[in-house]
Amino acid sequence: MPAFRALILEDHDFQRRVGAQVLRSCGATEVYEAADGAAALDYVCSSPTPADVLLCDLKMPGMDGLAFLRHIAEHGCASSVILASAVDASIMRAAEIMAKSYGIRMVGAIDKPVSRAKLMPLLLRHFTRQISRPHAAAEQMPLTEIAAGIAARQFLPFYQPKIDVKTGMLVGAEALMRWRHPERGFIPPASFIPLMERNHLIAEVTFDLIKTVLAQIRAWQSAGLSVPVAINVSVESLRDTSLPDRLEAMTSAEGLRPNCLTIEVTETVAMTDVGHSLETLARCRMKGFELSVDDYGTGFSSMQQLTRLPLSELKIDQVFVTGAAEGTILAALLETTIGMAHRLGLKTVAEGIESNEDWNIVAQLGCDIAQGYFIAKPMPAEELAPWYGAWLGKRSGRPAE
């Protein structure tokens, strides 16, 4: 464990001293102790060597932990925060969500008393997880450059593996759009996809991507690797009721069956133009394509959508997955969602698997498929087969050939 500086905010003298000792046992070289929010805030705002980790109680006289979190967010505090409190789990979860919405680097929460066993996994997450503050707004690329990039076919799919939780085998991948700019290198999707959508360019690029994906699926099949691929489609594509026929023709041209391709839609997109969207999606299913609702749980009427959409798969948003092993509320919601999906005959995919704890909880709760950085980041097509060999070797305890 690397050395780090810590601040503990706790009004109870004995528990504060114990917490400070635990932090030191975990590798903290400096521990600043604060008995109230005002003192802790003064340290955060004035210290020339800010703490790497803040261990924060919630229920305190004077400035409580919630107010303290709001104030440090306004100050632009970049420290990672761990909540340690005896409040109800629902309050703890609300505090975590509130802190994240303020842009705080929240790594998790534990109940009291603080112990090394509880604290170490969250400190490891502080050092190993890529936790970033929400960016104010991604730099938007000029529309002329985007159009030129489309003409030059600079947009390509990266593939993020989907793994069967029971067997550990590769059962598919999600294709994610990337822009390989000749001068700027890889440009994040937030810098070009919204502009594409607003200027009616996204459908054209999506079809180019699908064509590339289908050719890659065929190449993988020829090499003995079966990798069905999921690709997200926009509301503009769903409004086009000729989409199912075009997909069928493209799939047939590659000598593939429709079930090699999963159409992913978000709840919001699927319900934006209900008539056209449902006609398009129903026809896709009739032709044999798989259909997945992405980011399930973040829409305004999630359960209702399950009765409307002809789904074959449910992707559970990472906000319900990441950290579920630490909280009874998230675990209960996750278990309920998985059980409901299975009763409806749907496969379940857990997004945002970022740690071994995340993997274990979705396995324990019976989720079918896992996807996330703990397994692999999105990668170019040529890296998938070598990665899979290494993944299988790691799981079997043998070095990859």
Contact in structure between 370 and 395 (CB atoms under 8 Å): no
Backbone angles phi, psi at 313, to 5 degrees: -150, 150
CATH architecture assignment, domain 4-128? 3-Layer(aba) Sandwich (3.40)
Q: Kindly report the average pLDDT of the chain as a whole number.
A: 87
Distance CA 228, CA 210 (A): 12
What was the pLDDT predicted at 400? 44
pTM of this structure = 0.71
Count Cβ atoms below 10 Å from residue 76 Cβ, excluding itself.
10
Contact residues for 96 (Cβ-Cβ < 8 A; gap 6+) = 83, 106, 108, 109, 323
What was the pLDDT predicted at 131? 39
Distance CA 39, CA 35 (A): 7
Catalytic residue among 313, 351, 354, 357: 351
- SS3 letters for the chain? CCCEEEEEECCCHHHHHHHHHHHHHCCEEEEEEECCHHHHHHHHHHCCCCCCEEEECCCCCCCCHHHHHHHHHHHCCCCEEEEEECCCHHHHHHHHHHHHHCCCEEEEEEECCCCHHHHHHHHHHHHHCCCCCCCCCCCCCCHHHHHHHHHCCCEEEEEEEEEECCCCCEEEEEEEEEEEECCCEEECHHHCHHHHHHCCCHHHHHHHHHHHHHHHHHHHHHCCCCCCEEEECCHHHHHCCCHHHHHHHHHHHCCCCHHHEEEEEEHHHHCCCHHHHHHHHHHHHHCCCEEEEEEECCCCCHHHHHHHCCCCEEEECHHHCCCHHHCHHHHHHHHHHHHHHHHCCCEEEECCCCCHHHHHHHHHCCCCEECCCCCCCCECHHHHHHHHHHHHHHHHCCCCC
143-396 is classed CATH 3.20.20.450: yes
Backbone angles phi, psi at 181, to 5 degrees: -80, 135
What was the pLDDT predicted at 184? 87
Residue 174 annotated as catalytic: no
Spans of all domains in the chain: 4-128, 143-396
Per CATH, 4-128 and 143-396 having the same topology is answered: no
- Exposure string of 111-121, with b = 16+ CB inside 10 Å and e = fewer, is ebebeeebbeb
Contact in structure between 150 and 201 (CB atoms under 8 Å): yes
Q: For residue 88, which of 121, 112, 68 has the smallest C-alpha distance?
A: 112
Contact in structure between 5 and 12 (CB atoms under 8 Å): no
Contact in structure between 159 and 174 (CB atoms under 8 Å): yes
Q: For residue 267, which of 237, 312, 302 has the smallest C-alpha distance?
A: 302
Distance CA 359, CA 334 (A): 13
Count Cβ atoms below 10 Å from residue 152 Cβ, excluding itself.
11
For residue 282, what are its two tokens?
A: 């129903």
Q: For residue 34, which of 5, 4, 56, 3 has the smallest C-alpha distance?
A: 56
Distance CA 296, CA 183 (A): 37
Distance CA 110, CA 122 (A): 9
Count Cβ atoms below 10 Å from residue 170 Cβ, excluding itself.
22
Which stretches in the chain have pLDDT values below 50? Answer: 130-136, 300-301, 399-401
Distance CA 37, CA 55 (A): 12
